[in-house]
């Protein structure tokens, strides 16, 4: 195919123009975003009408999302009400963004308004509401969701969020009042609640729960937890518990504990397992074991 120079020139010009148009559009958006950011430290009475205009305009969702953020920072009841309006009735993407912005704004009244939204909302709305509570650090609201959950999935999502929030008290209260579930153990671990996990790890009434709690202790880690894991390993008669304790040490990377157990063991099979664990941890202590073995051979 032979193209005439004129055609090539026209195509190149078109390409250059479209690229320039795209860049200009991008620049226009960025300037609007800069203008919105300028409003964040402006007097609220002056900023609010402009932000409202942006939200009611045909601007892109990127610009509107930034407007929602600015709205969340405006300390006027009208601003919070408007944020909740978008959270209730905005389109999908903006709706989720508005919900999260209620969390960023941290206004107690607006946060309370999210509870109704959660009850009537779909999965995306519920997720956004939980994120908003996480951002705002509202453990009470997440606890209520977990306590009143209709199914395991809903309960799991709220409990997981409590773990991320480090809400140990709320998780302990849930342990007392709800059917115990595996997700709670994970949440205890994520929240760093070694005390509750240690209690569960030493309770042999439910071997499965006990094993999970022992492993979860490994997630929390730390000197005291490592000592507990070694102690559990040494004191149990149950293979499952011993295995869980070793897994816990693997998770926490407690190579010194594994080496201590290796040296204390007379059982060849157990020694092999412990050596494998040291290798999995990637510990340099394996070299000590090899040295000791070589010296022994001599």
Which residues lie near another protein (CB under 8 A)?
Answer: 21-22, 24-25, 27-28, 30-32, 34-43, 46, 50, 53-54, 57-60
Report angle CA 166, 98, 119 to the nearest 5 degrees.
Answer: 70
Cβ-based nearer residue to another protein, 21 or 287: 21
Cβ atoms < 10 Å from Cβ of 286: 18
Cβ-based nearer residue to another protein, 61 or 234: 61
What element of type H or E holds 123?
Answer: helix 123-136
Cβ-based nearer residue to another protein, 58 or 179: 58
Of 39, 56, 51, nearest to 90 by C-alpha is 56
CB of 287 to another protein, least distance (A): 51
Contact 139, 162 (CB under 8 A): yes
Q: List C-alpha distances in Å: 228 to 86, 138, 218.
A: 51, 33, 10
Cβ-based nearer residue to another protein, 23 or 235: 23
Cβ-based nearer residue to another protein, 24 or 235: 24
What one-character DSSP code corresponds to residue 262?
A: H
Of 36, 25, 117, 30, nearest to 71 by C-alpha is 36
Q: List C-alpha distances in Å: 83 to 55, 122, 149, 208, 235.
A: 10, 19, 26, 46, 58
CB of 106 to another protein, least distance (A): 23
Cβ-based nearer residue to another protein, 5 or 49: 49
Contact 249, 220 (CB under 8 A): no
C-alpha distance across the termini of the chain, in Å: 81
């Amino acid at each position: 195919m032979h193209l005439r120079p004129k055609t090539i020139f026209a195509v190149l010009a078109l390409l250059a123009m479209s690229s320039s148009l795209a860049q200009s559009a991008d620049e226009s958006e960025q300037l609007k975003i800069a203008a919105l950011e300028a409003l964040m430290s402006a007097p609220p009475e002056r900023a609010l009408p402009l932000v409202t205009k942006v939200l009611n305009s045909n601007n892109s969702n990127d610009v509107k999302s930034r407007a929602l953020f600015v709205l969340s920072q405006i300390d006027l009841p009208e601003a919070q009400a408007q944020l909740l309006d978008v959270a209730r009735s905005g389109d999908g993407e903006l709706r989720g963004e508005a919900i999260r912005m209620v969390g960023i704004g941290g206004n107690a009244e607006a946060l309370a308004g999210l509870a109704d939204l959660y009850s009537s909302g779909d999965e995306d709305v519920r997720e956004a509401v939980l994120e908003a509570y996480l951002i705002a650090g509202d453990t009470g609201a997440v606890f209520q969701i977990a306590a009143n959950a209709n199914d395991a999935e809903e309960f799991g999502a709220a409990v997981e969020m409590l773990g991320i929030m480090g809400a140990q008290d709320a998780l302990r209260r849930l342990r007392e009042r709800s059917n115990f579930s595996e997700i709670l153990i994970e949440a205890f671990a994520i929240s760093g609640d070694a005390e509750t996990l240690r209690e569960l790890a030493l309770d042999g009434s439910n071997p499965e729960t006990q094993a999970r709690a022992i492993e979860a202790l490994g997630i929390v880690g730390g000197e005291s937890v490592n000592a507990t894991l070694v102690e559990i390993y040494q004191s149990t008669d149950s293979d499952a518990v011993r295995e869980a304790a070793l897994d816990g040490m693997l998770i926490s990377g407690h190579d010194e504990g594994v080496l201590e157990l290796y040296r204390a063991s007379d059982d060849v099979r157990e020694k092999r397992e412990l050596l494998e664990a040291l290798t999995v941890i990637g510990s340099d202590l394996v070299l000590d074991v090899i040295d000791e073995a070589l010296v022994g051979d001599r």
